[in-house]
Structure 1
Amino acid sequence: MEAGVSVIICTYNGAALLPDTLRHLARQNVPPEIPWEVIVIDNASTDQSAAVAASVWENSGNKTPFSLLHQPQPGLTFARELGLAKARYEFVLFCDDDNWLCPDYVKRAYELMMQHPEIGMLGGYGELVFQEKPPHWARNSRLFASGPQALRSGKVKTNVVYGAGSVMRRTAFEALLKAGFRSRLTDRKGASLSSGGDYELCFALALAGNAIWYHDRLIFRHFIPAKRLTREYHERYFRESAQSFSALVPYRFLVNKGSRSLADFHFQYAKTVANYTRKLLPAFIKSLLLPAGLRTSQANELAYISLKAKLGSFRNYRTMLQNFRELLLFKQQFQDQAKSQFLQVNPKVNMLSQSLRISD
């Protein structure tokens, strides 16, 4: 795989957002020795997203190769997969249609991925830009991809970074596919607020032994339109995004908690449910009362809604258990494949292992 950067922008009805995103991308300071390209995936849009993207890039004056692809199957995961199949280069930068990359983003992403071959996924630092003044409870909302993703640059302990502005090593992803990886989430689908596909990719890469990194010098601005600043939007997001837990929780048990068996799964499952349950009553009280006995802020109400939705997702016990079993099998298949490839590349080691088996 040729070293370089393929910038993939997946969009659904993003005609209003794409012009600013593409103009910032066209102003990238990329040295001539770093090959790169831009790929826009129109994911079943019903507006003029494709025409707008093509026109803006043509008029930008940037001569970097530009491709416009159409994915008629709704779902951000399917759009990403099409982009990955068509990308020319080893490093794939997922730029959302509302991300404004700083001028040296592509260059720094390339350099970091070249310097650290252990990185499977690399995340950046998002700065929020609001279309209009946000309510106080939305200014630091965890709903938006923004802020630092670790205490310092380097490996992320949680093994996840948000998808906006993330950079993935394509050969690491292709190794997952060869071992039988399949995504369990569609991620954003049309107007739906389902999510989690970015975390699933990170967890799968980490499960296969890749490092998940964050770097504070990878800076982009995340534009937030007014329609995403309503209470109704936040409520719907918390309820719909919690549906991804049935897929993500088994990954978290395996990757972050070190679970190795079904007994470990049941222990972590019971522990997590108990933890959420313990937090629920205090959150409910905060959602109703202020110290003065009055109605509390919307931030506390939304925190309670979010916690309740997360706890509710654990009703999908059988689905979580099945996903955990499949991930255990996938992990074993990946390890077996890696061992087989190692022996093929190192025939002397293979001969030694065979002789040891014969002597046994």
Structure 2
Amino acid sequence: MTLTSSTTVETDDVTVVVATRNRHERLRETFPHHRARTILVDNGSDEAPPWFPGVRTIPLGENRGAAARNVGVSLARTPFVAFADDDSYWTPGSLARAAATLRQHPRVALLAARVLVGPSGRLDPVSAAMAAAPLGTAPGGAGPSIMGFLACSIMVRREAFLAVGGFEPRLFVYGEEGLLAMDLAAAGHELAYDSSLVVRHLPQPAGRDNGMRARVEARNRVLTAMLRRPWGVVAREFGAGWRADRRGAADALRQAGWAWRHRRPLPPGVERDLRRLWTTDAAEITPVDNGRL
């Protein structure tokens, strides 16, 4: 049985999946805050991560990026899974409230929490964008409908997540959330933002390679469009990617064959929602820092 690192368990319906890589000191700070059964997935750290009593640790032996979370979800045995990174945690009461909301709203497959960044607790711009998103709230819905999120601040319905394949390994990190949001929506699920749920995010900016990040974000933006969007949108996203980072856009072109083989255009309703978001720039907000796996 996978147990929790905390003396307080808020709900037996949730497993927290924590992905970590080479941030052991921060992990020691955040891990005791998890108030549910927890699975720790180590993404090929240079040294073994800290040991926490009663917690199942999965050493991958390599860095799989966001797809490391898929491993944790597959091993969970609860109906709902919350994600956290080694620099984030759900605040007291949020896990139990999110689980209760998912029980009450069976059409919702993903709930996104409000993210407060750093010691001062400043609101992440992505959270502000989700609260103001123009899609409205579905009748009887759990909150404003969304088509994007921060991966370290969501709770998912485990079966729905696994059915769509989770996070795409080819995207690795930086912008991997968009494709998952599209696939859940295409499968008929609702995605909602709930500002009563709170996640604290304590990023450590030192040591980040912003040039690499820009390249991967540009690549993933184009690849995601190739996989799901109309060709006119693909052309637009390639142009944006080329202006942002030519190497990233070129990387996407080199993977066009793979993208074509895995291409599944979205249902018209989902594509229409994405276009509404694009026209308001709500989908273009950049998070303060979405972590490094």
Q: Same fold (TM over 0.5)?
A: yes
CA–CA separation in structure 2 for the residues paired with 1:271 and 1:239: 17
Aligned with residue 263 of structure 2, among 327, 336, 349: 327
Change (3 A) 1:122 1:154: same
Hey, what does 2:162 align to over in structure 1? 174
Matches within 5 A, 1:1-360: 4-25=13-34, 28=35, 36-51=36-51, 54=52, 58=53, 66-129=55-118, 147-151=128-132, 154-157=143-146, 159-177=147-165, 183-188=168-173, 195-227=174-206, 233-251=209-227, 253=229, 265-272=230-237, 276=240, 308-309=244-245, 313=249, 316-317=252-253, 319-320=255-256, 323=259, 326-328=262-264
User: Does the residue aligned with 2:234 lie in a helix, a strand or coil?
Assistant: helix
Hey, what does 2:289 align to over in structure 1? none
CA–CA separation in structure 2 for the residues paired with 1:24 and 1:307: 41
Runs of 4 or more, structure 1, over 3 Å off, are: 139-142, 145-148, 232-236, 270-274, 314-322
CA–CA separation in structure 2 for the residues paired with 1:24 and 1:77: 22
Change (3 A) 1:250 1:111: farther
Which has the larger Rg? 1
Cα RMSD for the two superposed structures: 3.4
CA–CA separation in structure 1 for the residues paired with 2:265 and 2:195: 36
**RCO greater where, 1 or 2, for CA within 8 Å and sep 6 or more?**
2
The 8 Å contact of residues 109 and 156 in structure 2, kept in 1 or not, is answered as: yes
CA–CA separation in structure 2 for the residues paired with 1:320 and 1:163: 25
Change (3 A) 1:70 1:330: farther
Change (3 A) 1:317 1:48: closer
Return the offset for 1:94: 0.5
CA–CA separation in structure 2 for the residues paired with 1:14 and 1:324: 37
Change (3 A) 1:201 1:267: closer
User: Does the residue aligned with 2:210 lie in a helix, a strand or coil?
Assistant: helix
Change (3 A) 1:125 1:237: same
User: Does the residue aligned with 1:219 lie in a helix, a strand or coil?
Assistant: strand
Change (3 A) 1:186 1:308: closer
Q: Percent identity?
A: 22
Change (3 A) 1:73 1:66: same
User: Does the residue aligned with 1:154 lie in a helix, a strand or coil?
Assistant: coil
Return the offset for 1:169: 0.9
Change (3 A) 1:242 1:169: same
Return the offset for 1:24: 1.9
Return the offset for 1:80: 1.2
Change (3 A) 1:249 1:66: same
Q: TM-score, normalised by structure 2?
A: 0.71
CA–CA separation in structure 1 for the residues paired with 2:93 and 2:243: 38
Q: TM-score, normalised by structure 1?
A: 0.59
CA–CA separation in structure 2 for the residues paired with 1:73 and 1:186: 15
Structure ranking higher in helix proportion = 1
User: Does the residue aligned with 2:111 lie in a helix, a strand or coil?
Assistant: strand
Return the offset for 1:97: 0.8
Return the offset for 1:100: 3.0
The 8 Å contact of residues 121 and 211 in structure 1, kept in 2 or not, is answered as: yes
How many pairs align? Answer: 247
Change (3 A) 1:140 1:182: closer
Return the offset for 1:309: 2.0
What amino acid maps onto 1:173 in structure 2?
F
Hey, what does 2:273 align to over in structure 1? none
CA–CA separation in structure 2 for the residues paired with 1:219 and 1:247: 31
CA–CA separation in structure 2 for the residues paired with 1:41 and 1:75: 10
Hey, what does 1:291 align to over in structure 2? none
CA–CA separation in structure 2 for the residues paired with 1:80 and 1:241: 19
